[in-house]
Amino acid sequence: MCRSLDIPANLDLDKLLGEHPFNKPNNATKDKIAFICNTIYYLMREQKKKLAKQNGYIYVQSKIIKQYIPDYHKYIKYLLAANVIMCNKTYRNNYYSKGYKFSDYYPIGTQKHTIRSCKFAQHIDTCYIIHEHNEKKRLNKASHLQIWFNENLHFDKKKAKRWIHDSYVSYLHAIEDANIGCKEYDDAIEKVNARHRKYTKAVYNFELNKLNYNYSIDKIGLRYQTILVHMNKRLRNFIKYNGERLVEFDNKTSQPYFSLLIFQPRFYFTRESKDALTLKKLHPVLYKRLKEDGSLIQLQKIARDVNKSTSTVSDVKSYQEDILKKDFYQVIADFIPGTQSREIGKDQIFSLLFEDWDNVNYGTPYIKAFRKKYPTVFKVFSILKRRKHNEFAGLLQRIESEVMYRTTRAFCDMYPNAPIYTIHDNYITTVSYKQHLRELLATELEKWTGYKPKLSETNWKPENAKIEIEI
């Protein structure tokens, strides 16, 4: 099967190999050079939002390229020597992959390179088949959810477009009344235009994908991605199923709630029952790294101490109670006197859970207050984020996703005629089945985590699509 790859528009591979000799060059050599270029372009598109922050460099995990080109380092070294690509200097083993970008001589434009080596083309096809098999295996976990994206799922396009129009006009009036400077005015208008283009695109995409809804499962957190996930929450109010309104249940403080699992001894042991949620099952790569560097023993000891309620880890009990019995985001917000915003508290805890701690200022009042109030919790977070911070974020998302798949499957088995949708940790069904779903969620979430969830209920209806102006 012939494949084409993206390479820089002004890159002549024959000329390059003539000016910079490569040991016994052949068609496979050109193809492998082109494949590395194509990988960089692909990751540039994937990491588009991060490029400016990373000074144009994209991070390439060696294990990705190694699947296709076992001796990839020879070609990377060649491209660096020939000044086709550049490498950053921030690489840290087990922390960051190396970053690459094309040198200034090569513009943004691309051209197509057709793979010439049949052997290399076959190898790529084999790798893609394995990848597609793994993708299909992941998607099978959500097969019971996908069936409800059918002709009965109706989006009131007319009302949605009216709401988008009214929202746009309201924003324009608010900007005019704000009496701001020219630059701020232009920036505000651009943001409003971008936001409402996105709303209009969501309406278009829903109709475009009618009866052929695309869905996927991301590789990091194994989260189920659908058209509903990427739609603005106000626009969802114009969706019904079989003429019936939908109801959404939100597991409040979801990520902190799921983080409680990491303080349970059973989470770190492999001799648990087949269905138990354990670190090794959920994130084998992270489990292996923690075991190799001895951190797993530390985590197991802390979890055992928590289970025994020893005084050295009493702060974990406070952390648990604050999540389960209080408004945890408000607790975080109240760390600093005079700061009462729950949203600020939410932002702060998400920074603690998900951000790269190399970019976190440990001297900020919130970080210092959290560390002082929950020292053991902070220590556990530090251990799990020590090598690659996004592995911990991925772990929390995998806990959430696995619980979601199990819970929704139980609901489908119990109520085969009831539609069920999810938006990460939120669960949606029709009004007719809302009480059944609420009761099952309370039971299932406690079953898999050991803790009772705090559920909030929201009805999807046009009256809830309020226009909120933020300039």
Q: CA 269 → CA 253, 272, 289, 291, 310, distances in Å? A: 26, 7, 15, 11, 20
What totals of helices (H) and strands (E) does the chain contain, helices first? 19, 13
What is the pLDDT at residue 431?
96
Do 370 and 319 meet the contact criterion of CB atoms below 8 Å apart? Answer: no
What is the pLDDT at residue 313?
86
Amino acid identity for residue 441 in this structure:
L
For residue 59, how far is the Cα from the chain centroid?
17
Phi, psi of 345 (to 5 degrees): -60, -40
Do 116 and 30 meet the contact criterion of CB atoms below 8 Å apart? Answer: yes
What is the pLDDT at residue 269?
85
Helix (H) or strand (E) holding 35: helix 27-46
Q: What token pair was written down for 114? A: 């057709």
State the residue for tokens 């390179």: 113
d(CA 68, CA 299): 36
What is the pLDDT at residue 1?
47
Strands (E), 196-236: 216-217, 224-225
Residue 391, judged by CB atoms within 10 A of its CB (0-12, 13-18, 19+), counts as middle
- What percent of the chain is helix, strand and coil (3-state, nearest 5)? 60, 10, 30
Q: What's 141-255+398-464's CATH class?
A: alpha beta
Helix (H) or strand (E) holding 262: none
Q: What token pair was written down for 416? A: 């085969």
Do 300 and 265 meet the contact criterion of CB atoms below 8 Å apart? Answer: yes
d(CA 449, CA 326): 18
Do 348 and 366 meet the contact criterion of CB atoms below 8 Å apart? Answer: yes
CB neighbour list of residue 121: distance below 8 Å, 6 or more residues apart: 1, 2, 3, 31, 115
385 closest CA partner among 416, 354, 419, 410: 354
Half-sphere exposure of 130 (CA within 13 A, CB side): 9
Q: Would you say the C-alpha torsion 266, 407, 289, 393 has a positive or negative sign?
A: negative
How does pLDDT run along the chain (471 residues), one tens digit per residue?
457 898 898 899 999 999 998 887 888 889 999 999 998 888 888 777 777 777 778 887 777 788 888 888 899 999 999 999 988 866 554 445 678 888 888 877 889 999 988 888 888 888 877 777 777 777 888 889 999 998 899 999 999 999 999 999 998 988 888 888 888 888 888 988 988 999 998 888 887 766 567 788 888 888 998 889 989 999 999 999 999 999 999 988 899 999 999 999 999 987 766 788 999 999 998 999 999 989 999 999 999 999 888 888 899 999 999 999 998 888 888 877 666 678 877 887 887 777 766 555 666 777 888 888 999 999 999 898 887 777 888 999 999 999 999 999 999 999 999 999 999 999 999 999 999 999 999 999 999 999 999 999 999 999 998 877 766
Helix (H) or strand (E) holding 102: strand 98-102
Q: What token pair was written down for 356? A: 């790269």
> In the chain, where are the structural domains located?
4-138, 141-255+398-464
Q: CA 64 → CA 5, 8, 43, 75, 332, distances in Å? A: 16, 21, 11, 15, 39
